[in-house]
Structure 1
């Protein structure tokens, strides 16, 4: 097969991001003004790419982040498998120092390889990885889709990148992310490689 090009982006900014409120898969927030501007900047930079398919999660912040491409009439599929991780009872709440302590304790456990651990009522990285696997199988089984755009979420993106690149989930924090950042990957039929890492040059365009 020819090389498949995958443009993997995180959604644009939401008010929840700014206010330090936990979103996760259970909060279907929308982009704020800055997030819509980021989406416009990404489209201005990459709207000329002939994407064969646009994939998003089922949450509206990902749809809004690629709206310019959808308005072109490009084929679009939603997959719950790439929804954000569930943060359980923390979702929709502002982070407090007490919750920070719990949150960072869980992150430390993940970094130590305890990726079956979850926040109360939420998902573990292992569970997120399991629900992503059918999406990965779909992505790799469609050679006719040579260039695809995937829009998803920060923590889930870290899990996905670990799976695509063969890293243990304990290393997922190595994959930094920001709102509307881009990772560009190539897939040869047997191997994924990163061609662009945390690319945000499109967000530096003036006038948008």
Structure 2
């Protein structure tokens, strides 16, 4: 039985993450110093893994999070289908009280099963994100020669993806916690066409970083 192991990580911290600015897919930010250190710590912990391929979104912060592995010569591809959910007109803004309330209401609606509701005007809904993620992952899964892969994505996009891969309702996406440069590890069994979640929101590799 063919098995594919997927190391799925969220990108490292950006300055927008630190100050609470909504990024989404429309803000192409860089990792800050903390994010760079997180990426290095993850590399130090997992450089012994023989990754056959690296997949990232089209946004710089995911590529920078795995740049140390790319520098080893591991082939990689960028896919727009792996991008973060679009927050439309909310992107690039520091949430004020009203925007925090708006955000919480959107999340609550998604939890009630209203996953066709867009994140914001001119933004995407979780259901729209799943459509593009399915296309990207069908391509990834079709490559049976790639036994162990590293995928760098984004927080909300990971939550959405995990519900799809694990055959869960989209409304349960917030059961999957995430932090910057956390790791989810899954195995995919070709015979059953099922995913098994082995590691969730693991940040043990970040324990080496100094805490101020």
TM range (shorter): over 0.9
- Worse overlay, 129-138 or 144-153: 129-138
Per the alignment, residue 42 of structure 1 pairs with 42
Shift of 1:136: 1.5
Per the alignment, residue 207 of structure 2 pairs with 204
- Gapped runs of 5+ residues in structure 2? none
Residues in 1 aligned to 2:132 and 2:5: alpha-carbon distance in whole angstroms:
22
Q: 1:91 to 1:201 in 2, by over 3 A?
A: same
Residue by residue over 1:31-86, the C-alpha shift from the partner in whole angstroms, topping out at 9 and shown as x without a partner, is 00000000000000001110000000000000000010000010100000010000
Counterpart of 1:30 in 2: which secondary structure? coil
Per the alignment, residue 172 of structure 1 pairs with 173
Per the alignment, residue 15 of structure 1 pairs with 15
Residues in 2 aligned to 1:125 and 1:171: alpha-carbon distance in whole angstroms:
11
Residue by residue over 1:108-136, the C-alpha shift from the partner in whole angstroms, topping out at 9 and shown as x without a partner, is 11000000001111000000001111112
The list of structure 1 runs, each at least 4 consecutive aligned residues, that deviate by more than 2 angstroms after superposition, is none
How is 1:27-66 mapped onto 2 (pairs within 5 angstroms)?
27-66=27-66
Residues in 2 aligned to 1:107 and 1:154: alpha-carbon distance in whole angstroms:
14
Residues in 2 aligned to 1:2 and 1:131: alpha-carbon distance in whole angstroms:
25
Q: What TM-score results when the alignment is normalised by the length of structure 1?
A: 0.98
Q: How many residues align?
A: 208
Per the alignment, residue 100 of structure 1 pairs with 100
Q: Does 1:84 align with 2:87?
A: no
Per the alignment, residue 74 of structure 1 pairs with 74
Is the Cα contact below 8 Å between 2:14 and 2:31 reproduced in 1? yes
Q: What TM-score results when the alignment is normalised by the length of structure 2?
A: 0.96
Q: 1:99 to 1:143 in 2, by over 3 A?
A: same
